[in-house]
Structure 1
Amino acid sequence: LEIDDYQWSGDGTRLLIFTNTRKVWRLNTRGDYWVLDISRRPGQAGAAGGASGRLAKLGGDAPEASLMFAKFSPDATRVAYVRANNIYVERLDDHRITPLTSDGSETIINGTADWVYEEELGIRDGFRWSPDGERIAYWHFDSSGVEMFTLINNTDTLYPTLTRIPYPKAGTTNSAARIGVVSASGGETTWMQTPGDPRQTYLASLDWVDSATVAMQQLNRLQNRSDLLLGDARTGEVTRVFRDESDAWVDVEPLQAIRGDREFLWLSERSGWRQLYRVRRDGGEPMLVTRWASPADVISIQGVDEAGGWVYFLASPASAIERYLYRVRLEGGVPERVTPAERPGTHAYDIAPGGALAFHRYSRFDVPTVVNLVALPAHRPVRALTDTAPLRAALASVVAPPVEFFSVGVGGGVSLDGWMLKPSHFDATKKYPVIVFVYGEPASQTVTDSWGGNQRLFHRAMAEAGYIVMSVDNRGTPAPKGAAWRKVVYGAVGELSAKEQAAAVEALATRHTFIDRDRVGIWGWSGGGSNTLNAMFRYPDVFSTGVSVAPVPDQKLYDTIYQERYMGVPEGNAEGYRRGSPIHFAEGLKGKLLIVHGSGDDNVHYQGTERLVNRLIELGKPFDMMVYPNRAHGISEGKGTTPHVYRLIARYFLEHLPAGGR
């Protein structure tokens, strides 16, 4: 078997193997599952009475590659999985299969998620075993009433084939989502009685607190309110124990139960900074845990050592471009750094239950990721799990000269972080063209001291060709600089980003005489493609050449959860949607523009690019365009596609933004 993924049973006697996988939108989440029993020596009876070492395929007579999200019951005697939008439980002793739901269809989804929940809330695996293995809690979606978006494949068959997706665009109807609990032996579902219209709220998380209680996070449609709800698995009765609110939006973070499930750890920006709180199950005011000497953000919870009384988390109070492990007493106190001070850069951790060991990943802008096992809290290396020495040696000449990080003021007391790459033959007495790489939206930073993989190597190649390549994080990106920094763009995404990107270029050109103001290009993908358009249309005297990949020219064409989170609903913010959408400023285009899109993009639809093309034609604006048939948002499907995309981008800059110092 070619193994794509695996999981051990809790007692270590069985291995669940995922193979023969298929992509469902973005990830390979559908395939075949096998169970290997290793509980006895060959020839002896296994843990469930079967032959030891027996490799058994799950699913009975299910079609090939049709199972999703299989997982062991807590006692490892059964496996539950999703097939064709229904949930099943299969016994491992006799492989008897019990359906827990039967209404799954194209519009009724059990145990997994609809398109927008998967994309924007990260919900794919949509069911949970209870701790005692007696019940399963699951998401149920009714997508009837959600408008269908049709993707057209013109190339693979003699006549076009159509793929129809229930896709809620901003301001339109969502799926009705609810959470049910059903016996693992089958029977009627008990529905959690969550408040509000299920099409006007979001159920953003689901966890068992104990074998009789589920915890849920419910967002309102505007996503500026998050309620922690507890549901009685037997009756469906729901109680709200905590509410978090914001003038902009609230972020959804994983729940962590502590103190024998009597409390939860919760990240909130209620103070103006993302801080860690303890929330009691019986209600009341939350208790602040992270009591910094100076204001700082908690980036994410990494693990809990409840016996020792510690919680571990990522933070970087002194620099928004780095990530370090900290810990603080569960009783509250001043956080202390765990990551050694002599290892600047970006650190990530997968901490074992109990907090004694962790898989540690470390990288820098010019240093590929290394992985090792460390003992906590001393951060003592236990075992190296990767050897990147050959890769580092091969890259030694490529990553020279080293990256330069900088800070640049853009007015109003605002300073932005950035990085800059120069050619190895750089001559400070000459003027060089600049390529700005932009994202600029609330979903991601581009300026971090971390390894960037192939795209970073592309930027290195462009620098070596004779460009200054740089990137700047404008306000509104998710840097750990406080809620005001991140949420200043609420209701106006697209305006501030282009303004601050242009201001950064102007300020840097004033600071550095080697920047050629007449040769400044910009490029980005997805939200970065949108900001490329905004920069080219709104600041044509700053940016002369742009490459916009998979952009959102009109924000009303994107999905409900993402766009409404940051912009509100269109009917309540019509002017904000207009001003944030580059299509309404296309008359400002003066320079050279290349638009790139995949016609099979299920995420950011090619529809938006087609509308922009029509607008540019109407305005008589010359532009260039490349369409990749049937490729999705990452434009990676098909042999040779990825190198073709990057050669296209490079060629466009080389042709229209002449390289080299002058």
Structure 2
Amino acid sequence: MARREFTDDDLHMDFPELATRTRTFSAGAPRAVTVSADGDRVVFLRSAGTQDPVDQLWVYDVPAGAERLVHAPPGDIGIDDYATDSAGRLAAFTVGGRLITADLTTGEVAEHPADGPVSDARPDPTGERVGYLVAGALRIRDLSGGEDMLLAGEAGNDAVTWGSAERVAGEFGRRRGYWWSPDGRYVLAARVDTSRVRKLVTHDPNDPQAPPGELALPLAGEANAQVTLHLLDLDGGWVDVHWDRETYPYLVAVSWTEAGGPLITVLRRLQQHGLVLAIDPRTGETQVHAELADPRWVSPVPGTPCHLPDGRVLIGGELAHDGYDARCLFADGTLLTPPSLYVRRVCGRLHTRDGVVDRAEADLLVEGSDTDPAEQHLFRVLAHTGSTGLEVQRLTTAPGWHTGAVGGDTVVVGTRSLDHPGTHWTIYAGGERRGELRSHAAAPPSAPRPTLERITDRRLPAAVLYPRAHVAGRRLPVLLDIDGAPGGQQVVADRAAWVVRQWWADAGFAVVVVDNRGTPGVAPSFEKVVHRRVADVVLADQVDGLYALAEKHPDLDLGRLAVRGWGFGGWLAALAVLRRPDVFHCGIAGTPIVDWQLSPSAYAERYLGLPADAADVYAHHGLLESAAEPPVRPGEARPLLIVADLADTRLLPAHALRLSAALLAAGRPHAVLPLAGAPRTAALRLELDFVQRHLP
């Protein structure tokens, strides 16, 4: 795999500048990898060089064993994403709001006129039409005749959009708002009405003359957008999809394949109960296929639900009875995966070589972890009708973090590990290695080698990273670099997770990372024990983990301890400094959550409940009361650097500003670093200066 090394000019830049210019050494690397249904084409995005932000569309021809450029956008705006038809012969995408399609077999590229900036362009499965969003409307363009039609839209009503995902959808990993039927004759489209959502006023910090804007962001305990689903016939027919939306307001996942009709997953607002519903395309009526329930919250497996070729419905979820504590796959209630396999995602189905689905061949490609939560591997799960169940074959053996894409009998394996930089993409067809996707990304200037281990009686995954020139016996100040968020696993066998941390280590620190309870990869009970007591569990695990590591690593000097984090980790860093000044001596809180009631509704309520029912829980998890209390003893107030991203539309700048105001009123030492959409690496040098000044 080609990988560019730095030139002398590059090395004149320091690490934070290098990391910023190279998108943390990912510019020039393949991404967004998909495989055509027949397995003949691997489609991906890649920019031309180590500091080039403009992603281009590429195809790897599997039979020919060669890659070719399909489209290189002119100028400095690249391709963010693309979609293909079911055969993988036609791709649609946008560049700077322009609608573009590309024939992936001939390389022919065409731009299509549109009335306004376009987003989310998607071909129908037959490749005859392309859907796209513009000005809140869903439109369809016929590629053969050039006709363009409005499929759904409400001109003049800015509160309503068609075909787009609402803000809350992102909390469940859903990015789409419309789905084609397998024959390309119908579209299942979401209508999103934000008229009940409180509108927040936004300003562009870089342009004081720009008029203020409005942001419909549902906050904890407040009204969400109203989401409805509709089956739209390209000939003008219209069928509403019916389910109890008052009880189950969250649309979590949608699937519509050639193996069966549309399936949706819906959840209650507190996310403790959900339904998998089958939709009758003729009437829009729904039938309950399965129920999902958990006293904490439900965690559907990405890639499910979907129909298997034999008509059964694949569902992913927790197995928490008869002594089991697992995350598994089920087909019509039959267990498909052993409890020892922690299922993370279903990549797709393995087909026969000619692309025709064969029930005896339609097994699943699954990402999951078995023996070590720090590693992710690819597994073939036998899901055909004749399978006896619980038949799983691990396809990857090398230590690391493996991802997959599949089409026909072609499997593309992306491998990240501690042994090499970046992701190595290897193409297999019919079980034989057929090539790899080249990378132009720069190799980082260091090769981190963290020590990964399990600590405390709770078996917390943890890691320690030393300076490259460290000599055993030399005591080092400690930086606890944290995320801690549910879903935010950090202790992974992937070099990319440690490159920035190695820079901190080389500045003279022992860098420590602890995956507290609440993070994924171990077991459902490990994740969900934080329900309504996130602060106590997470902070206790971090502190206990520090002391456990210090016993095993005598060079860790906990008398000089800094803590750093962003987002949820920023909240946790500030919480540590405010509530455990006996342990932590200074902290960096990047875009922290300060008041959980100012957080997105689905995110905050999943872990803390509704504010009206749990006011004490929200108060306990907020930072303002602790920040407003003067320190008990002189000198106990620990310095805190607050990094405020003024352009963040999810964790609003109001969080950081309120925290600063409370600290200021209490006379607590702190500093505020404002950013306006800059990457986190841009602040690294200032973060380091702050820690070096304030550690004892």
Tell me the TM-score normalized by structure 1: 0.85
Provide the residue aligned with 1:460 in structure 2: 502
Give the alignment of 1:233-312 within 5 angstroms: 233-252=281-300, 253-260=302-309, 262-271=311-320, 272-280=324-332, 286-292=333-339, 295-305=340-350, 306-308=359-361, 310-312=363-365
Counterpart among 594, 603, 607 of residue 562 in structure 1: 603
Give me the whole-angstrom Cα distance separating, in 2, the residues matched to 1:296 and 1:251.
16
Please name the residue that 2:686 is paired with.
648
One-letter code aligned to 1:345: G
Q: Which has the higher contact order (CA 8 A, sep 6+)?
A: 2
Whole-angstrom CA distance in 1 between matches of 2:361 and 2:95: 43
| 3-state SS of paired residue (1:100) | strand
- Secondary structure of 2:319's counterpart equals coil
Note the C-alpha offset of 1:550.
0.3
AA matched with 2:379: Y
Tell me which residue corresponds to 1:136. 187
Any idea what SS the aligned residue of 2:288 has? strand
Q: Is the 8 A contact 1:441 1:528 kept in 2?
A: yes
In structure 2, the residue matched to 1:27 is: none
Aligned with residue 95 of structure 2, among 12, 17, 20: 20
Contact kept, 8 Å, 2:644 with 2:673, in 1: the verdict is yes
How far 1:374 moved relative to its partner?
Answer: 3.9
Corresponding residue of 2:489: 445
Q: Is the 8 A contact 2:153 2:162 kept in 1?
A: no
CA contact (8 A) 1:422 1:469 kept: yes
Name the SS of the counterpart of 2:473 in structure 1: coil
**Residue of structure 1 in register with 2:149 after alignment:** 98
Code of the aligned partner of 2:194? S
**Match for residue 468 of structure 2?**
424
2:37 is aligned to: none
1:169 counterpart residue number? 219
Please report how far the alpha carbon of residue 376 of structure 1 lies from its aligned counterpart in structure 2 after TM superposition. 6.8
Hey, what's the Cα distance between the residues in 2 that align with 1:154 and 1:564? 30
**DSSP-derived class of the 2:196 partner:** coil
Q: 1:621 to 1:377 in 2, by over 3 A?
A: farther
Moved more, 529-538 or 415-424: 415-424
Partner of 2:101: 35
CA distance in 2: counterparts of 1:458 and 1:440, whole angstroms: 17
Contact 1:232 / 1:238 at 8 angstroms: preserved in 2?
A: yes
Q: Structure 1 stretches of 5 or more lacking a match?
A: 22-30, 41-52, 281-285, 637-641
How many angstroms apart in 2 are the aligned matches of 1:531 and 1:88?
Answer: 44
Equivalent in the alignment of 2:34: none
Distance in 2 between the 1:261 and 1:203 partners? 26
**What is the SS of the residue equivalent to 1:367?**
coil
The answer to whether structure 1 residue 476 and structure 2 residue 518 are counterparts is yes
Q: Which amino acid is the alignment partner of residue 74 of structure 1?
A: P
| Structure 2: runs of 5 or more not aligned | 1-71, 351-358
Residue 415 of structure 2 corresponds to: 362
Q: Please list, as runs of the form range in 1=range in 2, the aligned pairs for 1:544-623 lying within 5 A after superposition.
A: 544-586=585-627, 587=629, 590-623=637-670
- SS where residue 232 of structure 2 aligns? strand
Cα distance in 2 for residues equivalent to 1:324 and 1:532:
32
Identity of aligned residues (%): 24
- Listed as ranges, the matches of 1:296-335 within 5 Å are 296-305=341-350, 306-308=359-361, 310-330=363-383, 331-335=387-391
1:352 paired to 2:407: yes
Task: Give the 5 Å matches for 1:110-189.
Answer: 110-117=162-169, 119-158=170-209, 161-187=211-237, 189=238
Deviation at 1:122, TM superposition (A): 3.1
Task: After TM superposition, give the deviation of residue 6 of structure 1 in Å.
Answer: 4.8
Question: Quick one: distance in 2 between partners of 1:496 and 1:326?
Answer: 33
Distance in 1 of aligned mates of 2:552 and 2:259: 62
The one-letter code matched in structure 2 to 1:95 is G
Structure 1 pair 211/108, CA: closer, same or farther in 2 (3 Å)?
Answer: farther
Alignment partner, residue 46 of structure 1 = none
Q: 1:43: which partner in 2?
A: none
What is the alpha-carbon distance in structure 1 between the residues aligned to residue 241 and residue 465 of structure 2?
54
Map residues 467-546 of structure 1 onto 2, 5 A cutoff: 467-478=509-520, 480-546=521-587
Q: Distance in 2 between matches of 1:213 and 1:106?
A: 32
Q: CA separation in 1, counterparts of 2:430 and 2:578?
A: 52
In structure 2, distance between residues paired with 1:446 and 1:347: 15
- Relative to structure 1, the CA distance from residue 81 to residue 475 in structure 2 (aligned partners, 3 Å threshold; closer, same or farther) is same
Please point out which of 88, 110, 122 is paired with 2:139: 88
Number of the residue aligned with 1:408: 455
**1:558-581 per-position Cα deviation (integer Å, ceiling 9, x unaligned):** 011111112211122222222222
Is the Cα–Cα contact under 8 Å of residues 441 and 493 in structure 1 kept in the other structure? no
Residues 291 and 622 from structure 1, CA distance in 2 versus in 1: closer, same or farther, beyond 3 angstroms? closer
| Pair 442,537 (structure 1): closer, same or farther in 2 beyond 3 Å | same
How far does residue 235 in structure 1 lie from its aligned partner after superposition?
Answer: 1.4
Distance across 2 between alignment mates of 1:609 and 1:492 = 23
Counterparts in 2 of 1:287 and 1:218: CA distance versus 1, 3 Å: same
- CA shift at 1:108, angstroms? 0.4
Partner of 2:394: 338
CA distance in 1, matches of 2:433, 2:326: 30
Change (3 A) 1:517 1:84: same
SS of 2:244 mapped into structure 1? coil
Aligned pair 1:109/2:177, yes or no?
no
The question of whether the paired residues in 2 share the 8 Å contact of 1:417 and 1:447 is answered with yes
* Equivalences, count: 598
Say if 1:611 and 1:351 are closer, same or farther in 2 by CA, change over 3 A: same
Change (3 A) 1:620 1:337: same
Counterpart secondary structure, 1:651: helix
Cα deviations across residues 303-355 of structure 1 (Å, max 9, x unaligned)?
A: 323432532322222111001122232234444443343x11111111224xx
Once the 2 structures are TM-superposed, how far is the Cα of residue 113 of structure 1 from its aligned partner? 1.8
Offset at residue 150 of structure 1 (A) = 1.6
| Displacement after TM superposition at 1:514 (Å) | 1.5
Cα RMSD, aligned residues only? 2.6
In structure 2, how many angstroms separate the alpha carbons of the residues matched to 1:417 and 1:183?
51
| Pairing 1:381–2:433 present | yes
Q: Following TM superposition, by how much is the alpha carbon of 1:154 offset from its aligned partner in structure 2, in angstroms?
A: 4.6
Q: How far apart, CA to CA, are the structure 1 residues paired with 2:488 and 2:394?
A: 25
User: What's the counterpart of residue 77 of structure 1?
Assistant: 128
Contact 1:350–1:358 at 8 Å: present in 2 too? yes
Amino acid across the alignment from 2:517 = R
**3-state SS in 1 of match to 2:644:** strand
Q: Secondary structure at the match of 2:612?
A: helix
